[in-house]
Structure 1
Amino acid sequence: MKKGYIHIYTGDGKGKTTAALGLALRAAGHGFSVYIGQFMKGQFYGELSSLGKISNITIQQFGDPGCIRKEEVTPKHIAHAQKGLKEFNAVMKKGLFDILVMDEICVAIWFGLISEPQVIDVMASKPKNVELVLTGRKASKNLIHHADLVTEMKDIKHYYTSLGILARKGIEN
């Protein structure tokens, strides 16, 4: 790839990770190598099984099992996220991947697991030929300023809020 850009998929609607995974699948189909770091996930999701079967996609989780709320953040959560960011940076510096995805990184910032300046540093140090994708709710104006493409997923109607339907196997997880 001659020039890589920075994408942000944000907003309160469903589909941010799904969009990033779709891009990863498309890129892998064209022979690009993809690395996905999941910063808020530490348990099984269907994409782990599927993407694990594609040789040029690597996915790694840096979160704890289960969901956490912002008010439940512990030093352990922060340590895992910081370790994940360090690993992500090391992977980026090795230059083995064409596309890098920081899944749920905007939420990790919002929760205080990782600082915004740390992520801005990643964005600024991205090799020019690498595509970088950030996902998650609550992308700040500063992050958006440093991106080349920003898509906001908007929740118009969702069965979770209207009917109380929780995440379903194979659809949301």
Structure 2
Amino acid sequence: MQIEQPPVDRQRVVPSGERRGLVLVHTGDGKGKSTAAFGLALRAHGRGKPVLIYQFMKVPSARFGEHRVFEQLGVPLIGLGDGFSWKSKDLENSAALALEGWARAEATIRGGEHFLVVLDEIMYPLRYGWVPLDRVLACLRERPSHVHVVLTGRGAPAELIEVADTVTEMGMVKHHYRAGVPAQRGIED
């Protein structure tokens, strides 16, 4: 590792625009997309802002770590799916659930009552064609100006990246699965 000198002068860019709701995309093959979105949800909730989290691939009865803590905090986290496609017994049902889930999420975003809406793992239903990308893009463009939306999942479409204000691509450098270490409760759930 190369040792660096800490910066002593800060170049400050003074924003010239107005504060407004942002579209944030967390994508890529690395870990941390949902976790980062949940961190933003916690930050907003901590400031007293209304937050709603939709999970497109989790079942409504899911009880992972995030469900437990958000329930304790009073932050709604709603499972809209029936699990990841490789676990589904009926992909037509999965597609129907995703489309119904999108209708709920769209109504929430357009309704403007929430400061932050998280659309966790929405990239899967977008990539599979279960949720029409044009409807999502229209909703993001037409949402109330104060509403922030975070979308997560691998393989964000270029059109979504174009609409977004901030895009973070999580890249895998190393992963414990590849060394044969199984998933850990409290880390992956």
Q: Which residue of 1 aligns with 2:187?
A: 171
1:61 Cα deviation after fit? 0.8
Q: Distance in 2 between matches of 1:109 and 1:164?
A: 31
What do the CA deviations read for 1:66-95 (whole angstroms, capped 9, x no partner)?
432399761100110011011111222332
Q: Distance in 1 between matches of 2:123 and 2:87?
A: 13
Q: Distance in 2 between matches of 1:93 and 1:35?
A: 13
Question: CA contact under 8 A between 1:51 and 1:59: conserved in structure 2?
Answer: yes
Indicate the percent of aligned positions where both proteins have the same amino acid.
39
Structure with more relative contact order (C-alpha pairs < 8 Å, separation 6 or more): 1
1:49 Cα deviation after fit? 0.7
What do the CA deviations read for 1:8-59 (whole angstroms, capped 9, x no partner)?
000000000000000100111111111111111113221001001113x211
Give the aligned CA root-mean-square deviation in angstroms. Answer: 1.9
SS at match of 1:69: helix
Question: CA contact under 8 A between 2:112 and 2:143: conserved in structure 1?
Answer: no
Answer with 1 or 2: which has the greater Rg.
2
Question: CA contact under 8 A between 1:40 and 1:63: conserved in structure 2?
Answer: yes
Q: Which residue of 1 aligns with 2:157?
A: 140
1:81 aligns with 2:115: no
Tell me which amino acid in the other structure corresponds to 1:53: Q
1:111 aligns with 2:128: yes
Question: CA contact under 8 A between 1:70 and 1:111: conserved in structure 2?
Answer: no
Q: Which residue of 1 aligns with 2:84?
A: 67
TM-score computed with the length of structure 2 as normaliser: 0.84
Q: Distance in 2 between matches of 1:70 and 1:151?
A: 28
Q: Distance in 1 between matches of 2:137 and 2:105?
A: 14
Going from structure 1 to structure 2, the CA distance change for 1:16 and 1:164 (only over 3 Å counts) comes to: same
Q: Distance in 2 between matches of 1:84 and 1:95?
A: 17
TM-score computed with the length of structure 1 as normaliser: 0.91
Q: Distance in 2 between matches of 1:41 and 1:71?
A: 11
SS at match of 1:80: helix
Gaps of 5+ in 2: 1-17
Hey, which bits of structure 1, 4+ residues long, moved more than 4 A? 70-73
Q: 2:46 aligns with which of 2, 17, 29?
A: 29
Going from structure 1 to structure 2, the CA distance change for 1:69 and 1:115 (only over 3 Å counts) comes to: farther
Going from structure 1 to structure 2, the CA distance change for 1:111 and 1:49 (only over 3 Å counts) comes to: same
Tell me which amino acid in the other structure corresponds to 2:68: S
